[in-house]
Amino acid sequence: VGKGLDANRYATKKTVAQGMLDIALLTANASQLKYVLTVGSSHEFYTIMLVLISLSLALQLMIGLLSLSLSMLRDCRLHLSDYHNSANIISHVNLIATFIIAAVNIIINGFGILPTTTQILA
């Protein structure tokens, strides 16, 4: 006889997987930032890359803080109906910021992190 789906176990695995993906994106952005700063202004898209990577990192930090505050709100006060509206607002801001991070990282990858021809020749 098959065992049914355990919702708590599924949610836990999903949360752990999402956390690992967040850490991977944070690490990738830090590596990209290090590369851009190392190459310096000789990179043809230096300013754009610096701004986009910094924006991505700042938004990731904001999402981490919002998720932490939502978790604390859920644990401490969400049983009170007065806090449902603020929890919904935090959740929506979190979702919008996640979408912006995805779009920014697509643009970052579009500009590329690979060395330009002039950097290879130098």
Residue 122 has pLDDT above 60, yes or no: no
Average pLDDT, stretch 85-107? 90
pLDDT of amino acid 103: 94
- Tell me which of 2 and 82 has the higher pLDDT: 82
pLDDT band for position 87 (cuts 50, 70, 90): confident
CA nearest neighbour of 109 among 58, 56, 37, 38: 56
Q: pTM of this prediction? A: 0.77
